[in-house]
Structure 1
Amino acid sequence: MMKTQALDFPRIDAVLRANGTGEVTINGTSHPIQAADEAAVLREALRLISDTAAQLGRPVKVTTIDPDGQGHIVVSPAGTVSEAAPVKPAPRRQKEPVSAPASPIPSVQELTPAPVEPTPAPAAAAHVQPATAPEPAETAQPVTFASVVDQAPAAAPETVTRRSLKETSFLVSAPVLEPATRGWRGTLTRLGFRMEPSPEEMAEREDIRTVSQHWPGPRIVAVVNRKGGANKTPTVVMLSAVLARYSGAATVAWDNNESQGTLGWRTEKGVHDNSVLDLIDSSQTLLSPSTNAAEIARFVHHQTSDKFDVLRSDENEEGDHEVTAEEVDIAHQVLTRYYRLIVMDSGNTARSANWRQMIHHTNQLVVPVTAIEDRAEAARLTLQTLESRGGHDAELARNAVVIVSESTDAKRSMGGDALKRAKAEAQRIADGFAPHVRAVVRIPYDPALVNGPIRYDALQPATQRAWLAASAAVARGF
């Protein structure tokens, strides 16, 4: 008996919003839902949908829409939920049903020895001829390799070769897929209907896995753009926060401006005023085998919620000291002893000694740019300068990650059309860089990145997700 199918009629859309409300639309009739929490919203939505299924006497197909994306489920009249997944391919030992084969399927006679006294071959074992009017998929009986083998006489027993126990294992190496945790699927899972995660959630899990890795030896990320206001400092803070939070690796953000940088202004200040110059002055002590790891706290400023440290640039009001290449080497030697991951902010002069020495130590280059043409042009020239130098510098440019942030200069007063133009400009710039670098990631506008100290938890969910994707793109270069 054929199972009752879930048809596309009636059209049912179920929306679960980030603010905890929902809506079920059945053939154009809207049913808004407000409840105490997501689970209550979903229970009411399932009641409306299952009532519709009961009236029709069959399951119904539902399009689910939530902040994580769009999906499809099937709801029965009894309220049972299943996933409307695409038809899975047949197992490897079978072949797809053939209606008009390019070459004949082997018959039983071709696969097995002929009997002593030939008898008429059964119809099921005959060569399959091209069908002029194929039967419906529900009633067709496809000829498969498995069905042909099942009809063949048993082969002569073969000698069994014993295998070594060393070549056998009962361990299951494939990881178990955890059920969905977000959106409609996650809420259904919490209500007892185990649902697979959406493609969006699977992509997020993969990004988390990537940034959670530990690599042998330290890794240095340089964030560069010769134009000021290109979002270098927010990029340093966000990459440091995401990598430190997920990997748990000791991470430091180093302000490598040649004089006075702004990284210290956008992050928490510790109980001291020490900067990179103080660390350099104390380098012999910090590199001594008798010095313990906790001593580095005298020179860096810990970010209590984002779990990374900041090495500030010199904040001498007179600003009469410029960091040299030798001092970059000394600071690098100290920091790689205490940290696994170093994210470096930089100044705007690609010709300065400390900038070039930073590049010498870099493993992964990141080029931030806002969606404004002069910032994009400065980013292009920065990459062009490195590429023209050849060798290690050119390799960094080719494998760079470009991070395009939507304009922060005028968005607070933008209307709908202006916002669309800003997004289109960000996409145009991203598309322009894509053929020349390893990865390009777009970051949406977020007011939490504009002024004051930057905190990962203060960002909107979409911005957090974008920075996770950017950090994963960077980590893939490690």
Structure 2
Amino acid sequence: MGSTPTEVMAFPKISAIVRDNGTAEVIVAGNSRIVPAGKSLQELRTNALDVVVGEAKTLQRPVRVQIEDPEGHGELIVHPDHTIESLSYEAHSSRRRRAQAPKTTPESAAPAVILTETVPAPEPVVGPTVMENVTASRMSAPEAKQPATVWPPIPAEPESVSSDLPPTAGEPEDPQPAVDPDAEPLTRRSLKETSFLVSAPVLEPATQGWRGTLTRLGIRMGPSAAELSEREDIRTVSQHWPGPRTVAVVNRKGGANKTPTVVMLSAVLARYSGAATVAWDNNESQGTLGWRTEKGAHDRSVLDLIDSSESLLSPSTSAAEIAKFVHHQTGDKFDVLRSDENEEGDHEVTAEEVDIAHQVLTRYYRLVVMDSGNTARAANWRRMIDHTNQLVVPVTAIEDRAEAARLTLQTLDSRGGHDAELARNAVVIVSESTDSKRSMSGDALKRAKDEARRIADGFEPFVRAVVRIPYDPALVNGPIRYEALQPATRRAWLAAAAAVANGF
């Protein structure tokens, strides 16, 4: 039996949306429900209504549902027993023009009346259930009940007019399709065209915010858009890719946040992917990566690794031997290869030595993140670029650092070939000023954020991705630890690592 529309509560708000790209979605109180895929628009509608019936069963009462598809929109009442009542349906203007019924005289037109029939719930079957259409519309005389699908209602068709006139010339009286005697029977299908795997992946419930709180209290809630975005970034950085990858972090200006960027990218990628990761200080003389990270139980540097490269590249050498030359970060799960810390500073790394060190490291590690000096003309800097798969250009929100970053990208782009490709696909990471903000007023903090936004917007048209990092005191001085960062900063570095990983 039908229900009086005013008796059916409008809460929760339910929408069923069918799209012309072959997907459908049911949204209940702002939470998306998975709709099984269908082979046609009508099958998608049926699957979506099945989901709504499930909600009605859960609530143990009829529910209202707003429907929207490529052909029109309207409103239904859906009962737990699979009864469907159509309250309204309006076709889009183009469809109305195509499906307009013939006009009727006022004497022959009858008011539209919605009739409903209740049928028993279908027996369980393997695979997605298909709900029967159970609503009919009486659009003319009461005796002429016309079957109509609920969604969308079938427009009235003009009655056929019998005629004794002969068929039009050139038109066959009883056309028959041609039969190919060699064709396989229509009932036989190839197993390659069939699959029993039709279920969509189950979306895990929310774990963050008030949605996560309600889920823990037993009310299952879908994740918010922000949580879904974070999950996608985690999935991206957790991927394993074939072969080693090398990331170069470059800016011709000192104080541009190169070393913190190397540490944070190494930490995020190592933590989430589990891939063996090494951060290599490729300064031509002495860099600062060793000062901002944990020191192991030895003093060895890249020069010691190069001197021992023959034994390290021997097939008989154990993978554990690399630990003699790198400094493990116990919390963040990556290793550090320090630059030469000879007090006399009498050695500059050559291009050939970069080749040797890179060959050793890519034997023991899947991911190499390289810190760099400030001289783009140095031999070790240029050879680093030759080995690079993904370029990262860090910059603090200070105009001279931003200008140096622009010139670095311009230099690479002007060289053409591999260097230019790296520049076009670079990831620019804009960090707010790392100066202490204890004495900064609210207006000064706002200006700092505005400047970071201005610089980020300026780079956006010229590179593949730009990510902004908020100010965090844990990045200013001393050893850098991922767990010491504020939650917003960790989230920003996850986004930055995902942007980098997308280039692998």
- TM-score normalized by structure 2? 0.69
What secondary structure does 1:265 align onto? helix
Structure 2: any 5+ residue segments left out of the alignment?
14-28, 31-57, 60-64, 74-88, 103-107, 114-138, 140-147, 160-184
Letter in 2 for 1:271: A
CA change 1:122–1:247 in 2 (3 A) is farther
- Return the offset for 1:334: 0.5
Q: In structure 1, which of residues 418, 422, 440 is the aligned counterpart of residue 448 of structure 2?
A: 422
* 2:251 match: secondary structure: coil
1:147 is matched with: 153
Kept after mapping to 1: 8 A contact 2:287/2:339: yes
SS at match of 1:356: helix
State the Cα distance separating 1:168 from its structure 2 match: 2.2
Q: CA deviation at 1:164?
A: 3.0
Q: What's the counterpart of residue 174 of structure 1?
A: 200
SS of the aligned residue for 1:433 comes to: helix
How far 1:175 sits from its partner (Å)? 2.0
**Pairs within 5 Å for 1:217-236:** 217-236=243-262
CA distance in 2 between counterparts of 1:318 and 1:174 reads 64
User: What is the one-letter code of the residue matched to 2:416?
Assistant: G
Confirm or deny: 8 A CA contact 1:220 1:361 kept in the other structure. yes
Aligned equivalents of 1:190, 1:446: Cα separation in 2: 31
What SS class does the counterpart of residue 374 from structure 2 fall into?
A: coil
User: Cα deviations across residues 49-79 of structure 1 (Å, max 9, x unaligned)?
Assistant: xxxxxxxxxxxx99xxxxxxxxxxxxxxxxx
User: Using the alignment, how far apart are the partners of 1:89 and 1:282 within structure 2?
Assistant: 70
The residue type paired with residue 290 of structure 1 is S
Equivalent residue for 2:273? 247
User: Is 1:320–2:329 an aligned residue pair?
Assistant: no
User: Contact 2:100/2:155 (CA < 8 Å) preserved in 1?
Assistant: no
**1:68-79 superposed matches below 5 A:** none
Closer/same/farther in 2, CA of residues 149 and 442 from structure 1, 3 Å limit: same
Residue from 320, 325, 330 that aligns with 2:356: 330
Equivalents in 2 of 1:164, 1:143: separation in Å? 32
Report the alpha carbon displacement of residue 445 of structure 1 after superposing the two structures with TM. Answer: 0.4
Conserved 8 A contact 2:99-2:155: no
Work out whether residues 95 and 144 of structure 1, in 8 Å CA contact, stay in contact via their aligned partners in 2: no
CA contact (8 A) 2:238 2:273 kept: yes
What are the ranges of 5 or more consecutive residues in structure 1 without an aligned counterpart?
A: 9-60, 63-79, 82-86, 110-119, 126-140, 154-158
Pick closer, same or farther for the CA change 1:232–1:194 going to 2, 3 Å: same
Q: Aligned pair 1:467/2:493, yes or no?
A: yes
Tell me how far 1:151 sits from its aligned partner.
10
> Which letter maps to 1:104?
R
Who is 2:99 aligned against?
A: 106
Q: Residue type of the partner of 2:230?
A: E
Shift of 1:408: 1.1
- Please give the residue correspondences for 1:112-261 in structure 2 after superposition, counting only pairs within 5 Å: 146-148=152-154, 160-172=186-198, 174-261=200-287
Q: For residue 415 of structure 1, report the CA deviation from its aligned partner.
A: 1.3
> Contact between 1:189 and 1:195, CA under 8 Å: does it hold in 2?
yes
Matched, 1:387 2:416: no
CA distance change for structure 1 residues 374 and 144 in 2, over 3 Å: closer, same or farther? Answer: same
Letter of the 1:98 partner, please give it: E
Aligned length: 376
Q: Within 5 Å, give how 1:393-412 maps onto structure 2.
A: 393-412=419-438
Counterpart in the other structure of 1:272: 298
- Whole-Å separation in 1 of the counterparts to 2:380 and 2:158: 77
> Would the aligned equivalents of 1:186 and 1:195 in 2 still touch at CA under 8 Å?
yes
Question: Structure 1 counterpart of 2:99, which letter?
Answer: P
Q: Matches of 1:89 and 1:348 in 2, distance apart? A: 60
Q: TM-score, normalised by structure 1?
A: 0.73
User: Separation in 1 of the partners of 2:500 and 2:66?
Assistant: 34
In structure 1, what is the Cα distance between the partners aligned to 2:313 and 2:227?
44
Given residue 147 of structure 1, which amino acid in structure 2 is its aligned partner? P
Where does residue 298 of structure 1 map in the other structure?
Answer: 324
1-structure distance, mates of 2:419, 2:283? 19
Percent of aligned positions that are identical:
78
Cα drift, residue 363 of structure 1: 0.5
In structure 2, do the counterparts of structure 1 residues 146 and 428 end up closer, same or farther at CA, with 3 Å as the change threshold?
closer
Structure ID, larger Rg: 2
Task: State the 1:107 CA deviation.
Answer: 6.2
One-letter amino acid matched to 2:90? V
Superposition CA RMSD, Å = 3.2
CA distance in structure 1 between the aligned counterparts of 2:188 and 2:442, rounded to whole angstroms: 72
CA distance, structure 1, for counterparts of residue 356 and residue 243 of structure 2: 18
Aligned with 1:452 (options 478, 482, 487) = 478
What SS does structure 2 have at the residue aligned with 1:431?
helix
